[in-house]
Amino acid sequence: MRNSTQQRTYQKLDELADQLPWYVIEYIDKKKRKLSPASLLNYCHDFKIFFEWLVAEGFYAGNIQSIPLRILEKLTAQQVEDFLTYLKFQLQNKDITVNRKLSSLKSLFNYLQNIAETDELEPYLNRNVMAKIEFNDVYEDPETIANRMEGKILLGDEYEAFRMFVEKDYGELFKDNNRILNFYKLNRERDTAMVSLFLGSGLRLAELAGLSLEDIDFNKCSVRVVRKGNKEQYVYFSEQAVFDLNEYIKIRSDRYTISKQNRALFIAAPMGPKGTTRRLSARAIEKIIEKYAKAFGKPSLSVHKLRHSFATRYHAEINDVPKLRRQLGHSSIETTMIYTHLKSEDLKNAISKLNMPKE
């Protein structure tokens, strides 16, 4: 699982980091032990926007790779506020997105002032302007969040209806279009298994995209994933997902004509003159879900909303927030002790209850 997906992410990370100043590359290298490559890739995107803004605003007359530390040390709080205003009004970032980019910069500047040091044991920065900058106040009451989410996630009977739509009804909808119908028939079992696993486990997109055959334990109804922070965890999934995964795996090798060396769980349809097969990318999975969601009548239903749908149903059925947090991988310092007291068997039983019909 790590050897393919993570290697590609690390490659993208290294390519993007090479476009940034040396001290940023050093920061990224130091963080690789603690943060996932996907998180670090997001950091690099944020840094690139910041350094490109510095050049565009005339703070430095060169390429962003050459921006010296003295430029960062001389920035004023007002100039940083100008950058945040640029994010909000020019790039049209929401407050929560501006906060995330600011958090990335705070982490970098903190490293440069308090962790990194020269051969003379001096900090890279003597002055940290980011410490003066406050985050945007972002608050939404539960009712506002619920109202925004309504219509974007699966509720009640829609949960199984969407799975059935992917398994069967989509083909009925396009039965007169041979091109769409044939492509659907080729990938029906695969797509049903993906949707069923999303809805039966609450996995993140990257977690599902990175799965390999050996990560699935059908006996324990669990799957091995690498969560944020490179933490390995076994996550339980529903009996319906077990059934749909088995149906897909039965046809996986012959349908996609793949070699035994290809251990990726979800495979893309053969492409090119040689019919090359490969692991289905995260973006491809997103587009597949978007296709079915639009045809289903819920165009706002995304992969992340499937995760929300799982969480909503789990909470309604089980009503156990600590177990849900562990299932979703929402780890934090405040909840670590809760996780250590959880029993795996209890979590497995909680997932199994999702299969029980209501009286």
What is the rounded CA–CA span in Å between residue 125 and residue 72? 8
Catalytic residue among 2, 100, 263, 330: 330
Catalytic residue among 2, 31, 106, 228: 228
Cα 301 to the center of its chain, rounded Å: 15
Given a contact cutoff of 8 angstroms between Cβ atoms, the answer to whether 335 and 323 are in contact is no
Question: Active site includes 330?
Answer: yes
Q: Which amino acid is at 324?
A: L
Question: Active site includes 283?
Answer: no
First to last CA, the chain: 40
> 234 to each of 145, 212, 280, how far by Cα in Å?
30, 14, 22
Catalytic residue among 204, 227, 279, 323: 204
Catalytic residue among 188, 190, 252, 307: 307
Question: Active site includes 325?
Answer: no
Q: Which amino acid is at 71?
A: I
Given a contact cutoff of 8 angstroms between Cβ atoms, the answer to whether 248 and 171 are in contact is no
Which residues does residue 117 pair with via DSSP β-bridges, in sequence order?
Answer: 123
Catalytic residue among 224, 308, 339, 348: 339
Q: How many CB atoms lie within 10 A of CB 350?
A: 20
Question: Active site includes 308?
Answer: no
What is the rounded CA–CA span in Å between residue 127 and residue 129? 6
Question: Active site includes 228?
Answer: yes
Given phi > 0 = left and psi -120 to 50 = alpha, else beta, which region is 226?
beta
Catalytic residue among 88, 304, 308, 325: 304
Active site residue ranges: 204, 228, 304, 307, 330, 339
